[in-house]
Structure 1
Amino acid sequence: MTAAPVRTWAERYAPSTREVYRRTLLELAADDPRILCLDSDMGGLDDLFGPVLPEQYVNVGIAEANLVSVAAGLAATGFLPYANTMSGFASARACEQVKIDVAHNNLPVRIVGTHGGFSAGHYGPTHHALEDLAILRTLPNLTVVVPADSAETEYAVRATAGLPGPLYLRLGRNPAPPVYDGPYQFRVGEAVRLRQGEDVTIVATGPHPVTMALEAARALAVRGISARVLNVHTVKPFDTAAIAAAARETGALVTVEDHVLAGGLGSAVCEVVAGICPVPVRRIGVADRFHDSVGTETDLLDGAGVSARAVEEAVLSLRSA
């Protein structure tokens, strides 16, 4: 018996970003024998991918550094390996292998990190991935993509399948609110303007931050403040033109991310603004401390000061300054 077809946009993209990624990867691999799925015993891929395309599936076990090195070797021989692990392990435990084996050699390895930000909060601080963007966006040749929802995940996976160099794809764990309700053209390195605005720009990356930005913009509209919202799905290469235009046209920026304040989206925005069009910037992100609580992703974000209300207050502080 075959599965019932998915009939609507909402049904197709109801699962989490990681689930939509896995489905999309299987579809791409079925048409391209060069695509390999390298697993680090994540669970799920062994049931979804392995039985369907066993010759394109390898589980290296819980050995993240080895995972990346194996992927680099396979890429050097003409394969297109997707190395699957958790974001915190890809960026920290395997950082040297990503830097030397993959990025330095500019190999087409796709490093797919799930459980980004606080999305593995139920495992505690060992599994938080709050520094990964700061680490990986510094590496030459590496493209860094953070989809805003499940639909954008599929678009991003398909758009980056042919990249000649390496990719880091940051995904969550649980379903997040949808951002898109219909098709659009995903372009690597090109931010998406989700909402028009003239008074301030809210810049966000990742599922929960983008949702917070949109929620804050709606609340600000009630106050008579017109807030532009930019979804920066590509952290590297960074859309300098969109940020510079937002600075010139709206005069102030607020950034929001599920990442530490140092080195992430807010830092990237400040780097652009300082060099091209200096305007006030307020950054909403995770405070510079270890967060030892165990909890849900949304509870941990709220406890760390990352919320729609915090974004709204940051905009209001700019307006009153």
Structure 2
Amino acid sequence: MVTLSGRDAFRSELTEVAGRDRRVVCLETRARKKDHPFEAAHPDRFFSLPNVGTVLTQMVTGLRAAGFKPFVAVTPGPAEGRAVAPRSLWRDCLEAGATVVMSPEGFPDGYDEVWRMSGVPLAMPCGEEETRAVVRHAARSPLPHCLVLGEGPGTDLSWEPSEPSPATARLISVGEDGTRLALAARAAAPGLGHAHLVYLDDVRLSAAAVELATWTGKSVVTAAPRLLEPVLEALRSRLPGDAVLGVPAPLRAGRADVEQVLAAAAA
């Protein structure tokens, strides 16, 4: 079933949240478009700021000082601003206190940098329902968040956590690509367990590792190629007694990718 993309779910949910909380402000680094629901509902709290460079950070600082909750959606490409490197743009906004939304394509190079930011929850939700829940949580929280959301067509990624059958492995999915691959592998081998990570920052990943450690055995992580190694390193350091393997999840996984997951689980 096709649902809203991560970005569209974010825009829709933030618009609803802003109807209940007048402190919520939306800033986008792309050129203004007519179909933005937040602008239509709350034009006095929406700002389209392409190519603004450090001005965006200054606006975030001012909004925070005035008691607002700024959400900054960073658009990939030239709209991120020519005066400031993309990494500096989202990093400076986070440090100024904004919740930043960025694309999976522009994010992985900065994973370690976000991870080291103390007190910044890092979320990579999957599917419309999970994305909406993460946006609501970020709006309620006093902390700035980093949300990694895609622009592509959404897909229903509903799933239920499951413990593995005896003598089988557990899949740990990260991101939309990783979750699609894990679900496809479980459809082929229902006995596999499945745990799904939404938050990847140091504090919340450590808490998740405590839960994961209650089941000892092999784990196979499925995640986008550029994200896989950092996640593997983080989990292996927290689960030293377990075998933690990884399989890269391409944008469009096929049968060969599923077989690679099954082979890793059986190894």
TM value normalised by structure 2: 0.83
1:48 correspondence with 2:33:
no
1:298: which partner in 2?
Answer: 251
- Provide closer, same or farther for how the CA distance between residues 261 and 80 of structure 1 changes in structure 2, counting only shifts above 3 A: closer
1:196 correspondence with 2:185:
no
- Provide closer, same or farther for how the CA distance between residues 246 and 30 of structure 1 changes in structure 2, counting only shifts above 3 A: closer
State the one-letter code of the partner of 1:75.
R
C-alpha RMSD of the superposition: 3.1
State the one-letter code of the partner of 1:298.
L
Q: How does 1:8-157 map to 2 (within 5 A)?
A: 14-41=3-30, 44=33, 47-63=36-52, 66-86=55-75, 93-96=85-88, 98-99=90-91, 102-103=94-95, 107=97, 109-113=98-102, 115-117=103-105, 129-157=107-135
State the one-letter code of the partner of 1:257.
A
| Alpha-carbon contact 1:176-1:208 (below 8 Å) kept | no
Following superposition, the deviation at residue 72 of structure 1 comes to 3.2
- Provide closer, same or farther for how the CA distance between residues 311 and 135 of structure 1 changes in structure 2, counting only shifts above 3 A: farther
1:187: which partner in 2?
Answer: none
- Provide closer, same or farther for how the CA distance between residues 135 and 30 of structure 1 changes in structure 2, counting only shifts above 3 A: same
State the one-letter code of the partner of 2:136.
R
Following superposition, the deviation at residue 314 of structure 1 comes to 1.6
| Alpha-carbon contact 2:57-2:92 (below 8 Å) kept | no
SS at match of 2:155: coil
Following superposition, the deviation at residue 51 of structure 1 comes to 3.3
SS at match of 2:135: helix
Following superposition, the deviation at residue 55 of structure 1 comes to 0.9
State the one-letter code of the partner of 1:133.
Y
- Provide closer, same or farther for how the CA distance between residues 46 and 63 of structure 1 changes in structure 2, counting only shifts above 3 A: farther
Gaps of 5+ in 2: none
1:254: which partner in 2?
Answer: 220
| Alpha-carbon contact 1:65-1:93 (below 8 Å) kept | no
- Provide closer, same or farther for how the CA distance between residues 212 and 263 of structure 1 changes in structure 2, counting only shifts above 3 A: closer
State the one-letter code of the partner of 2:4.
P
- Provide closer, same or farther for how the CA distance between residues 284 and 61 of structure 1 changes in structure 2, counting only shifts above 3 A: same
Within 2, Cα distance between the matches of 1:45 and 1:254?
43
Within 1, Cα distance between the matches of 2:89 and 2:135?
22
| Alpha-carbon contact 1:68-1:83 (below 8 Å) kept | no
State the one-letter code of the partner of 1:116.
P
- Provide closer, same or farther for how the CA distance between residues 311 and 42 of structure 1 changes in structure 2, counting only shifts above 3 A: farther
State the one-letter code of the partner of 2:184.
E
The structure 1 residue matched to 2:179, chosen from 210, 216, 220, is: 210
1:164 correspondence with 2:131:
no
Following superposition, the deviation at residue 156 of structure 1 comes to 1.0
1:314 correspondence with 2:267:
no
1:271: which partner in 2?
Answer: 237
Within 2, Cα distance between the matches of 1:73 and 1:167?
18
1:219: which partner in 2?
Answer: 188
Q: Percent identity?
A: 19
Following superposition, the deviation at residue 43 of structure 1 comes to 5.4
2:199: which partner in 1?
Answer: 234
* C-alpha distance after superposition, 1:84-107 (max 9, x if no partner): 1136869x934345545633x6x3
Within 2, Cα distance between the matches of 1:273 and 1:140?
22
